[in-house]
């Protein structure tokens, strides 16, 4: 079976509001913020279906306002909290979704270099330093697998 994985170039930016500038697009923190990321077929399917359902989204935003424009950051957080409640899942800060994704990848045994590239870190060491708690769990699992393989 052939599966179509799509390599998508991400221009990473975020919508921010400050008192001095108002609402504006903020570029990513580093040169690695702009990167290629592979999306799975299921993620592509959901995003394409979502895009078709959006009639007023003239800017091509993933999370637009009802009129298709920029969604105020505080309104995004409100919607996020409502969705967590509706899904009956523990409330976690929005940015922790990134950490959850990475922790899941690391626990699955994904190559740390691949994870680091997905995150836009300039060095794999940054990823391993930040997610060392996951690395420690992986070390224990490796020791257990070795023990099982060697003594069986």
Specify the higher pLDDT residue, 38 or 89.
89
- Average pLDDT for the chain: 82
Residue 138 pLDDT more than 90? no
Q: What is the pLDDT of residues 5-23, one digit of tens each?
A: 555 555 567 788 888 988 8
Q: What is the pLDDT of residues 51-77, one digit of tens each?
A: 787 776 767 777 888 887 888 889 999
- According to DSSP, the β-strands at 34-39 and 6-11 are antiparallel
Question: Of the ranges 23-27, 101-105, 121-125, 132-136, which one carries the lowest mean pLDDT score?
Answer: 132-136
Which residue blocks in 39-131 are alpha helix, DSSP H? 41-53, 73-87, 96-107, 112-119, 124-130
State how far the Cα of 48 lies from the Cα of 67, in Å rounded to an integer: 19
Q: What is the pLDDT of residue 3?
A: 44
Mean pLDDT for the stretch of residues 119-136: 84
Mean pLDDT for the stretch of residues 88-103: 90
Q: What is the pTM of this model?
A: 0.69
Instruction: Kindly state the tokens that stand for 13.
Output: 């930016």
State how far the Cα of 142 lies from the Cα of 150, in Å rounded to an integer: 12
Mean pLDDT for the stretch of residues 108-120: 89
């Amino acid at each position: 079976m052939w599966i179509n994985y799509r390599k998508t170039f991400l221009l990473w930016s975020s919508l921010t509001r400050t008192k001095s500038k108002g609402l504006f697009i903020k570029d990513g923190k580093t040169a690695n913020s702009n990167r290629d990321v592979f999306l799975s077929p299921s993620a592509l399917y959901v995003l394409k279906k979502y895009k078709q359902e959006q009639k007023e989204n003239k800017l091509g935003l993933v999370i637009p306002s009802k009129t298709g424009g920029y969604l105020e950051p505080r309104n995004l957080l409100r919607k996020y909290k409502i969705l967590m409640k509706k899904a009956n899942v523990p409330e976690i800060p929005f940015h922790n979704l990134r950490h959850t994704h990475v922790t899941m990848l690391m626990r699955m045994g994904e190559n740390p270099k691949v994870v680091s590239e997905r995150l836009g870190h300039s060095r794999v060491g940054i990823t391993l330093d930040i997610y060392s708690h996951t690395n420690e769990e992986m070390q224990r699992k490796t020791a257990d697998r070795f023990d099982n393989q060697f003594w069986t």
